[in-house]
A = this chain, B = another copy of it.
Amino acid sequence: MDKETHSFEAIINNNLSGRDLDEFNRIYYGRTNHLEVPIKESSIAVAKDNNFDIAAYAFPAKKESTRPPRIVKVGIIQHSIVVPTDRPINEQKNAILTKVKKIIDVAGQEGVNILCLQEFWNMPYVFCTREKHPWCEFAESAENGPTTRFLRELAVKYSMVIVSMILERDENHGGVLWDTAVIISDTGNIIGKHRKNHIPRVGDFNESNYYMEGNTGHSVFATRYGKIAVNICFGRHHVLNWMMFGQNGAEIVFNPSATIAAEGGSEWMWNVEARNAAITNCYFTAPINRVGYEEFPNEFTSADGKPAHKSMGLFYGSSYFCGPDGVRCPGLSRTKDGLLIAVMDLNMNRQVRDRRCYYMTQRLDMYAESLRKVLDLEFKPQVVYENEK
């Protein structure tokens, strides 16, 4: 491939216009008008100087007479690593922190209330290598690590809730590692943390060599701006993970991810899974993916019969927001750093639930019983054979 496609949106906007574009937007995104929200000139200038994209879209709700609107400004950031992976660990990490701080500053200037970073935002996606040294050195304490300390300051400065996705080292339990979301309050306190529930075992995603399935259930975090939860990366494929966040009252569920375009990748599923979760659970979702190529010092194989190599291929970005009605906004690019902002009225969640009745018609009692049966070692699937008659 000569050059990476900039974005799905670029393909559409460069080729479609008039009624064809309107119909495409209606059928694909769910609305003909993306409801773009203006960005400050100063933010656009900083974004240009620092080579990241910035865009904002509105997700309004109907006016109610018994509740005021609950407008929240939510931001997500996608970005590449900065220095080569053979540099010292702290140099790699600090270079990312320094770069991303500029994007967070712009989010602050734009009045973002809740900000979520990508999975393992402060490091390369090292798990493809299966090497423990030196990569485990990226692990930090969720409560007191340098990355958390760095973000607490920014959270207070901008009165912003920040979700930070790190490789956690749990010193209180033998120093084991976890894939962890740290929820930092706008007060600078840690509200809590959530550990990834479903760990991949496929291709270059060798995370099961580093940490186990999470033990923090399906926590929803009550922030000043709304109830949020984090379905981490591979949990995207697990509909019950999404569902339990909804049952626990989440209004916005982030899906910080690291996923690639290469063969066996996930690009055609990216528009499907977080969006289906928004629809069936009637809440906002925000899938976030890193961008760029990451080359490692030593070669590794991808269990696909192909020769060893030093890079997994393109992390394709394309982060976006989806409303509880399944309507989504355009995504960020496939190749560039970016800040995407949604101005959402959280009242929409209940409005969609009242209209569509997906929760009311769930029949959870039937399924709790069905799953119990499936778990039985003597489980007999409900199969009807013709010759039984």
Q: Is the CB of A244 within 8 A of B367?
A: yes
What B residues does A273 contact at CB under 8 A? 276, 279-280
Looking at the assembled complex, report how far the CB atom of A378 sits from the nearest CB atom of chain B, in whole angstroms: 14
Closest to A242 in B: B239
Looking at the assembled complex, report how far the CB atom of A333 sits from the nearest CB atom of chain B, in whole angstroms: 13
A234 within 8 A of B: yes
Which A229-262 residues sit within 8 Å CB-CB of chain B? 234, 237-240, 242-244, 247-249
Q: Is the CB of B267 within 8 A of A219?
A: no
Which A262-316 residues sit within 8 Å CB-CB of chain B? 264, 267-269, 271-273, 275-276, 279-280
- Number of copies of this chain in the oligomer? 2
A87 within 8 A of B: no
Q: A219-B382, A357-B202 in contact; A11/B30 too (CB < 8 A)?
A: no
Q: Is the CB of A238 within 8 A of B280?
A: yes
Closest to A365 in B: B375
Q: Is the CB of B268 within 8 A of A363?
A: no
With the chains together, A221 CA to B27 CA distance in Å? 34
Q: Is the CB of B276 within 8 A of A272?
A: yes
Q: Is the CB of A356 within 8 A of B237?
A: yes
What B residues does A244 contact at CB under 8 A? 367, 370
Which A174-189 residues sit within 8 Å CB-CB of chain B? 183, 185, 187, 189
List residues of chain A with CB under 8 Å of any chain B CB.
5, 8, 11-12, 14-16, 20, 23-24, 26-30, 183, 185, 187, 189-192, 197-202, 213, 217-223, 227, 234, 237-240, 242-244, 247-249, 264, 267-269, 271-273, 275-276, 279-280, 326-327, 355-358, 360-368, 370-372, 374-375, 381-386, 389
Known: A200-B361, A272-B276. 10 other contacts (CB 8 A): A15-B15, A185-B386, A187-B386, A219-B382, A222-B384, A239-B243, A239-B276, A240-B367, A269-B279, A368-B368
Which 8 A-B residue pairs are closest in the complex by CB-CB distance?
A30-B268, A276-B276, A239-B239, A368-B371, A248-B381, A192-B384, A240-B367, A5-B23
